[in-house]
Amino acid sequence: MTMRVLLSGASGMIGTALRMRVRDMGHEVRLLVRRPPRHSLEVQWDPSSGTVPSGQIEWADAVISLSGASLSRLPWSAAYRREILSSRVRSTSAMATAIAASQHPPTVWANASAVGYYGRGPALDPFDEESAQGTGFLADAVAEWEAATAPARESTRVVLLRSGVVLGPMGALTPLTLAARFGLSPTFGSGAQRWPWVALTDEARAIEHILTVDVSGPVNIVAPALNTQSDVADAVARQLRRPSWLRIAAPLMRAGLGVAADDMLLADQPVIPQKLEDSGFEFEIVELDQAIAAAYGRTWTPPAALDATRP
């Protein structure tokens, strides 16, 4: 089933991968941009003033919104925390209002969200989509962000894309890569906190999948693995053939990064992709080392295959 897809946030790492996935699957795509358009597939919008071209909403079968200030920019000063929240709520409210006012609303609206909804942990049981909101700045911000979609829910199937750490060539992997190249692949605190991750290719595949299956509300986009932060640091070090020995104490991280340390880097979040797998989605990458290799554009060989080649 081909669709007409209206995409915002297409210039980022996830948006670029998703734009390619949507195109490769035969869908027609138009891009919402904040600057003047550079070609015929771009349409200017201004979410800060609530301006969304109504004709584009009428055109679209599906809308995908990935807008918002980066969470990877650290530290989160008081001013930047306001930007994290306002950039998400403002653009989401503008889109929700436009969809609600449309004479022919899109069938589905997939709006970015984050596993930060589940809070800081520590957690005894895995988080699925029925789990309660956690505590912390990011949990509160995500809840307000998701609530901003409410005006569109009566006319359109709204999906909240609760993504984990997306492992790709940019984003969250960048500072870990830089540290590892200097032989300092770091463990944060105890390193035992679960970090929900997803390979970039599966992030794009999952979002495209959601457009055509009957799911709504929050959907966790994370690989079906419960790796720890130290697992991630070790995998980066292995891929770059560097040591992994540096441990940064939690109090030191809090002193340097404030709430971002507790809300992201030290948070224990054993998130599982319950609704996504129930909808029939199958992950292509379920091994952490494979995801890290793919992020660096390298081929990954499973350990079993390596063992089979040894005498």
Q: pLDDT tens, 290-303?
A: 999 999 999 888 86
67 and 11 in contact (C-beta within 8 Å)? no
pLDDT in tens, 99-137: 999 999 999 999 999 999 999 878 889 999 999 999 999
d(CA 244, CA 237): 6
67 and 112 in contact (C-beta within 8 Å)? yes
Phi then psi for residue 177, to 5 deg, are: -65, -45
Is 209 strand, coil or helix? helix
- The mean per-residue pLDDT over the stretch 251-256 comes to 95
Residue 305 has pLDDT above 80, yes or no: no
Mean pLDDT of the chain: 94
Q: What is the reported pTM?
A: 0.95
- The mean per-residue pLDDT over the stretch 206-210 comes to 98
Question: How confident is the model at residue 304, as a pLDDT?
Answer: 52
Closest CA to 227 of 236, 239, 218: 236
pLDDT in tens, 70-81: 998 889 999 999
pLDDT in tens, 39-57: 999 999 998 888 899 999 9
